[in-house]
């Protein structure tokens, strides 16, 4: 394998790893909320991790509200305490597919 081919292969692998890392980053709420599910019968986002008051919870975003399972965060009062969110990404493979 030539140095050129090796360089191309490494460049592609690095880009793939960077894309994987990007999927797992915590997204600041100032960058925007999660997208809504592409289903007209569901009017909120997918479940996501929510960083609220320094702790991580599972919930979703619904028209100005962060809904944390077992609780809720009203936009005007508590949403300022929600700082980040990130998609829940399940491991690849396994028997569940």
Q: Please give the pLDDT value at position 11.
A: 92
Would you tell me how many other CB atoms lie within 10 Å of the CB of residue 27? 17
Q: Please give the pLDDT value at position 97.
A: 47
Total-model pTM = 0.67
Sheet holding 55-62, edge to edge: 27-28, 82-87, 48-52, 55-62, 65-68
pLDDT in tens, 31-76: 988 887 766 666 667 889 999 888 899 988 887 788 888 776 665 5
Percentage of residues of the chain with pLDDT beyond 90: 23
């Amino acid at each position: 394998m030539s140095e050129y081919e090796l360089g191309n292969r490494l460049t592609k692998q690095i880009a793939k790893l960077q894309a994987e890392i990007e999927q797992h980053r915590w997204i600041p709420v100032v960058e925007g909320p999660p997208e809504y599910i592409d289903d007209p019968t569901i009017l909120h986002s997918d479940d996501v991790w929510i960083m609220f008051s320094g702790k991580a919870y599972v919930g979703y975003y619904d028209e100005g509200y962060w809904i944390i399972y077992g609780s809720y965060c009203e936009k005007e009062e508590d949403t300022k305490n929600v700082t980040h969110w990130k998609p829940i990404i399940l491991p690849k493979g396994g028997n569940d597919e």
